[in-house]
Amino acid sequence: MVPRTYQVRTYGCQMNVHDSERLSGLLESAGYVPAVQGQVANVVVFNTCAVRENADNRLYGNLSHLVPVKASNPGMQIAVGGCLAQKDQGEILRKAPWVDVVFGTHNIGSLPMLLERARIEDEAQIEIKEALEVFPSSLPTKRDAAYAAYVSVSVGCNNTCTFCIVPALRGTEKDRRAGDILAEVRMLVDDGVLEVTLLGQNVNAYGVEFGEREAFGKLLRACGEISGLERVRFMSPHPRDFTDDVIAAMAETANVMPQLHMPLQSGSDNVLQAMRRSYRQDRYLGIIDKVRKAMPDAAITTDIIVGFPGETEADFEQTVHVVREARFAGAYTFLYSQRPGTPAASMPGQIPHEVMQDRYLRLVEVANDIAWAENKKLVGKTVAVLVANGEGRKDEATERVSGRAPDNRLVHVALNFEVGVPRPGDVITAEITHAAPHHLVADRVISLRRTRAGDVGEQPINNLVLLGLPAMRPA
């Protein structure tokens, strides 16, 4: 019997990427195999995001494109999951009745069963749970890279930011036991992983469910004691919960990388208050100063929303001021997007699109100039680059491979056949010879270190990690 094939299409944040790894693991444990490039998959799964309005348009546009494909391939199934499925629920089947399965953020483990039921009953299936029943990390996972892995420390969020719909879709924060997190990390390291990224909607609030304020700093230090774990990162912290003990843990734990992604959203105190962000400009810049004093070489990146309701030109200039003061290595900048169901959607003072666009372009120009200037400071420096899987420019055209420096900057490294041919997961030590706003070039290769992750990466990667851990800490 020929196995059925699948394809997972992912939109949104790192949490969604990690969920897609679980969806792939679930399907492969149920007997499906990945569709090869150019092949029409028997099952196409959309793992959706609902943060921005264009996410809706993108999903329904892509679903429309599959109508003739499905008509030409009897037995093909389409499933929609993730945040947009949790938000729209039955609306998806009304707008796209050719969809076979709709499932939410709290029940991704149900996908294989729902696909099977839809086939047997020849009827679309929808299952949306309103609360998490099983912590997703207990599900099988298929990773695309042997050298790096995501590890969830929590799911959900207790914040009430007026622009954000995520808490309504992901639920309140649920924390995993530290022992379960560390057991997963050790298992990944035993499997060849060199780098883990700890994930949470508000990752440094970890421990709130336990009532332990310094739990996240302790978790970072515990990761530092795991032999073979070379790089630890985390996404995304909230300035409100960014405490001095976390900064100390970052600076004092050798394998915690000198990198911080901390969303700003706005530099205006008035806009931050309207956003219900529980910090102000001085608090944010104070954290940046402390991080830089503890880790002078840290690369700091951020998220910024332009055009929040009521934002004046003076408010916008305050955001530009913070960008100039913080000197971000990168700023992910977005136009404000109205999301039905959020308080901000009905606030007065909605900003015209042309005004938002003008501010956006001006801010991006400032942020790019700063990022470029910061990158230029690294020319002549020696960095250790963890070679990545298919990231950056094409090797054939440039005779370079791509990877990440410890501070997470993207580096394109020249091939040097005298030291050897690097594989994804190997580490190249090289000198930075050129800087651009969004990447670095290292054409002077010093050495190549082959790693166990590189050895594993030479084999087909199909790591179905069945952890069998408790769902979550009991209330």
Whether the pLDDT of residue 474 is over 60: the answer is: no
Which percentage of the chain shows pLDDT scores above 70?
A: 93
* pLDDT of amino acid 105: 87
- 138-162 residue pLDDT tens: 788 888 889 999 999 998 899 999 9
- Residue-level pLDDT at 13: 83
Residue 457 has pLDDT above 70, yes or no: no
Residue 470 has pLDDT above 50, yes or no: no
- The architecture in CATH of the region 136-374 reads Alpha-Beta Horseshoe (3.80)
- Domains 5-127 and 136-374 in one fold: no
User: CB under 8 Å to 297, separation ≥6 — which residues?
Assistant: 258, 407
Taking the C-alpha atoms of residue 137 and residue 401, their distance in angstroms, rounded to an integer, is: 32
pLDDT at site 397: 65
Report the percentage of the chain scoring pLDDT > 90: 73
pLDDT confidence of 471, banded at 50, 70, 90? very low
> Per-residue confidence at 46, pLDDT binned at 50, 70, 90?
very high
Banded pLDDT at 475 (limits 50, 70, 90): very low
Decide which of 174 and 358 is more confident.
Answer: 358
Give pLDDT, residue 188. Answer: 95
Domain residue spans of the chain = 5-127, 136-374, 382-457
pLDDT at position 465 over 70 = no
Element of type H or E holding 320: helix 313-326
Taking only the tens place, the pLDDT of each residue in 279-301 is 999 999 999 999 999 999 999 99
Fold topology of 382-457: OB fold (Dihydrolipoamide Acetyltransferase, E2P) (2.40.50)
List, for residues 331-350, the tens digit of each pLDDT value: 999 999 998 889 999 999 99
Question: Predicted confidence band at 461 (pLDDT cuts at 50, 70, 90)?
Answer: very low
pLDDT tens string 98-109: 999 999 988 899
Give the tokens for residue 208: 């709130």
| pLDDT value at 213 more than 90 | no
Fill in the amino acid letter for 450.
R
- pLDDT tier at 463 (50, 70, 90 boundaries)? very low
Return the closest-CA partner of residue 86 out of 65, 117, 55.
Answer: 55
Higher-pLDDT residue of 426 and 396 is 426
pLDDT confidence tier of residue 27, bands split at 50, 70 and 90: very high
When pLDDT is cut at 50, 70 and 90, the band that residue 390 belongs to is: low
| Average pLDDT over every residue of 250-272 | 98
The pLDDT assigned to 279 comes to 97
Does residue 198 register a pLDDT over 60? yes
Question: Quick check: 368 pLDDT over 60?
Answer: yes
**Which residues partner with 5 through β-bridges?**
33
Question: Which residue type, as a one-letter code, is found at position 140?
Answer: P
Return the pLDDT at 472: 29
Choose the weakest-confidence range: 92-101, 382-391, 444-453: 382-391
SS3 sequence, the chain? CCCCEEEEEECCCHHHHHHHHHHHHHHHHCCCEECCCCCCCCEEEEEECCCCHHHHHHHHHHHHHHHHHHHHCCCCEEEEEEHHHHHHCHHHHHHCCCCCEEECCCCHHHHHHHHHHHHHHCCCEEECCCCCCCCHHHCCCCCCCCCEEEEECEECCCCCCCCCCHHHHHCCCEECCHHHHHHHHHHHHHCCCCEEEEECCCHHHCCCCCCCCCHHHHHHHHHCCCCCCCEEEEECCCHHHCCHHHHHHHHHCCCECCEEECCCECCCHHHHHHHCCCCCHHHHHHHHHHHHHHCCCCEEEEEEEECCCCCCHHHHHHHHHHHHHHCCCEEEEEECCCCCCCHHHHCCCCCCHHHHHHHHHHHHHHHHHHHHHHHHCCCCCEEEEEECCCCCCCHHHHCEEEEECCCCCEEEEECCCCCCCCCCCCEEEEECCEECCCCEEECEEEEEECCHHHHHHCCCCCCCCCCCCCCCCCC
DSSP tally for the chain: helices H, then strands E: 15, 21
Q: Which CATH number is correct for 5-127, 3.20.20.140, 3.40.50.1820, 3.90.226.10, 3.40.50.12160?
A: 3.40.50.12160
pLDDT band at 395 (very low <50, low <70, confident <90, very high): low
Q: Give me the helices (H) in 130-214, please.
A: 166-170, 178-190
Confidence tier at 468 by pLDDT (50, 70, 90): very low
Mean pLDDT of 56-73: 92
d(CA 221, CA 199): 16
Q: What is the mean pLDDT of residues 356-383?
A: 98
Alpha-carbon gap, residue 213 to 205, rounded angstroms: 8
Residue 3 CB coordination number (10 Å) = 11
pLDDT in tens, 220-249: 999 999 999 999 999 999 999 999 999 999
Smallest Cα–Cα separation from 300: which of 275, 325, 280?
Answer: 325
**What's residue 15's pLDDT?**
85
How much is the pTM? 0.88
pLDDT, residue 135, reads: 72
pLDDT at 205 (0 to 100): 94
Taking residues 187-212, report their average pLDDT: 93
Q: Is residue 458 very low, low, confident or very high in pLDDT (cuts 50, 70, 90)?
A: low
Nearest to 359 by CA among 321, 316, 323: 316
Residue 396, pLDDT score: 58
The residues, any chain, with a CB within 8 Å of residue 283's CB and separated by 6 or more, are: 239
